[in-house]
Amino acid sequence: MSRVAVVTGAGSGMGLAISQHLAARGDRVALLDLNGAAVEEAAQRLRDGGAEAIACQVDVSDRSAVLAAIETARRELGPIEIMVTSAGIEAFVDFLDISPEDWDKMMAVNLTGTFHCLQAVVPDMLAGGWGRIVTISSSSAQSGTKRMASYVASKGGVIALTKALAIEYAAHGITVNTIPPGFIETPMMHRPIDSGELPPMKDLLTRAPMGRSGTSEDIAAACTFLCSEEAGYITGQQINVNGGWYL
């Protein structure tokens, strides 16, 4: 059955792979991202492959922009049935050096951005009596990670928000789960390695039980299952996709 899905952060990394997987199984997909050119190109590639896909340039921390993008998706594709929130930012800073402005920005994008997106789509899911929500959080919020306090706190909030909504909407046919990824090779992972914030890849991998990092495909496979009919009895869960490895 073809569903209408919205994926944020769809211009890169996991969000891009998730939109590709959902389109490949026949869903109509709206790709949202701050990077308008990336998401336009990604949607065009999906359309070239025969899928129904649209792109919306949006900053998820901007509530009115989120509401406008969801309205566009609803008008062009239909009521929203699946929402995946992958848009996010990270920062490596000693706790004492986090400015209030940087703290607010992290919360605005990672946590409040998730709130805006979910509030925009839940009414469609309630009206349809069916919904699948997957938030992308982080294993760092499960283990704690030094020099990432604002990021870890924002992702801890995403996990808590996921659990709260799972209970609130459990009786309405809407499942709400989170994937806390471990160490996944995407541009977000390569940036701190390239800048020296994280050790070189070969050193990081000595701590990986499987001897490899994860891929966006690993995340997309799990996410697509959580967005399926068959996953209807899974809600409020943290589905760890981390190769057995907590940072």
Q: Which residues are catalytic?
A: 151
**Using the rule CB under 6 A, is 11 a contact of ligand NAP?**
yes
Residue among 136, 221, 122 nearest 166 (CA): 122
**Using the rule CB under 6 A, is 135 a contact of ligand NAP?**
no
**Using the rule CB under 6 A, is 89 a contact of ligand NAP?**
yes
Is 62 or 173 the residue whose CB approaches ligand NAP more closely? 62
Stretch that binds ligand NAP, among 68-76, 180-188, 194-202, 233-241 (CB under 6 A): 180-188
**Using the rule CB under 6 A, is 12 a contact of ligand NAP?**
yes
- For residue 79, is it left (φ>0), alpha (ψ between -120 and 50) or beta? beta
**Using the rule CB under 6 A, is 70 a contact of ligand NAP?**
no
Q: d(Cα 34, Cα 11) in Å, to the nearest integer?
A: 8
Is 12 or 20 the residue whose CB approaches ligand NAP more closely? 12
- Residue 130 beta carbon to ligand NAP: minimum distance, rounded to whole angstroms: 25
Is 55 or 109 the residue whose CB approaches ligand NAP more closely? 109
3-state DSSP call for residue 41?
helix
Stretch that binds ligand NAP, among 72-80, 182-190, 203-211, 228-236 (CB under 6 A): 182-190
Q: d(Cα 110, Cα 116) in Å, to the nearest integer?
A: 10
**Using the rule CB under 6 A, is 142 a contact of ligand NAP?**
no
Instruction: Sort 195 into a burial class: Cβ within 10 Å, 0-12 / 13-18 / 19+.
Output: exposed
- Residue 175 beta carbon to ligand NAP: minimum distance, rounded to whole angstroms: 20
List the one residue from 3, 5, 13, 77 that touches ligand NAP (CB under 6 A). Answer: 13
Stretch that binds ligand NAP, among 19-27, 67-75, 159-167, 185-193 (CB under 6 A): 185-193
Q: Convert 153-172 to b/e letters by CB count within 10 Å (16 or more is b).
A: bbbbbbbebbbebbeebeee
**Using the rule CB under 6 A, is 218 a contact of ligand NAP?**
no
x-or-dash string of contact with ligand NAP, 25-64, rule CB under 6 A? --------xxx--x-------------------xxxx---
Residues 67-71: contacts with CB under 8 Å, at least 24 apart? 67/116, 67/120, 69/30, 69/32, 70/6, 70/30, 70/117, 70/120, 70/121
Neighbours of 143 (CB within 10 A): 14
- Residue 212 beta carbon to ligand NAP: minimum distance, rounded to whole angstroms: 13
CB within 8 A of 177, min separation 6: which ones?
Answer: 133, 134, 135, 162, 166, 226, 231, 234, 235, 236, 237, 238, 239
Residue numbers at the binding site for ligand NAP (CB under 6 A): 8-9, 11-15, 33-35, 38, 58-61, 86-90, 109, 113, 136, 138, 181, 183-184, 186-189
